[in-house]
Chain A
Amino acid sequence: MTRERFIDLVRTEQEPLRRFLLGLCSGNQSLADDLAQDALVRAYVASGSFLGLSKFSTWLFRIAYNCFIDHCRKASYDTVSDESLEAQGVLSDDSTDESFRYQQLYMALDRIPEKERAAIVLHYFEDRDIKEIASIMQIPSGTVKYLLSVGRNHLKEHLSV
């Protein structure tokens, strides 16, 4: 695949990809964009192995998810505290209702395990069905349903919905 062709394919996928990673990174835009860039480079290097058996976006999201998992392993991202979210600029002094809701959501997302977070983000933010999520996360469909159910319960505990 040529670079121009790859960029053309990425042009339509970049926004969902960045939003997916933004949710996974609990609102840390700069980290999400860094991971998105890494994922795109990895995808380009491996583009010869893309056989078209799944959708391009599913394949790209799988690579992005793996990038995020690698990042978590390296940085022990799960243990990130509220203070570090603040330091990353995710939490702000902006007191509008919308901003408060996002802060609340990101803090809640940050407190749940990464696999639950990924399932929730893919299903509710990206409107992906169970089968596609299973393909992206490389886990059985039953596990995705379980992660969604447990993730919802965990989020409810952290959100006053």
Chain B
Amino acid sequence: MNKKDNIEEFLRDNRPVVKDDPTFLLETNRRLKSVEGIKAEVDRQRVQGHMALIVTLVIGIVIGAFAVLIGYMHPFDLNQMKEGSLYNALVFIETWKQYLIIPVALLSVTLSLVLSLRRNKAF
């Protein structure tokens, strides 16, 4: 028998014996009972986080849609100002206003994801 067998045999023959403790599960049960309140609170916070995510998403879409609607209802007379960076910005918005909802929605989704992740990290 080689040395490896010796040590393996020694370890297998001397596995620790756990003293029987009937109070162990009772103590576990007691601790779990006291933890249940915390668990409920964690679950509540998780649901709240999801709700916040959905609400932020909906608000983002509504604001985006509203911004597009306002853009269509009140067209800006570009003939009044024909130079400067503001003019260029307004021309850009006027040209692409139908797509304005996309960056607004993207921004709101990103913000809600970032905020919900930060919220989850707290637990």
Contacts and interface: CB of A to CB of B under 8 A. Distances in A.
A binds B: yes
Nearest to B39: A45
Interface in B96-117: none
Interface stretch (B30-38, B54-62, B65-73, B86-94): B30-38
Contacts of B42: 45
Say which size band chain A's interface belongs to: 20 to 34
A7 interface: yes
Given A10-B25, A40-B31, A22 B18 contact: yes
A150 interface: no
Contacts, number: 77
Given A29-B19, A156-B3, A37 B31 contact: yes
Say which size band chain B's interface belongs to: 20 to 34
Interface string A26-50: 0101000100110011001100100
Given A10-B25, A14-B25, A124-B11, A41 B35 contact: yes
Interface string A138-161: 000000000000001001100101
Nearest to A20: B16
Interface in B3-22: 3-4, 6-8, 10-12, 14-19, 21
A56 interface: no
Given A3-B29, A44-B39, A27 B3 contact: no
Contact of B4 (A7, A33, A152): A152
Given A124-B11, A125-B11, 8 more contacts: A3-B32, A19-B18, A23-B15, A33-B24, A37-B24, A44-B35, A120-B11, A125-B15
Interface of B: 3-4, 6-8, 10-12, 14-19, 21, 24-25, 27-29, 31-33, 35-36, 38-39, 42-43
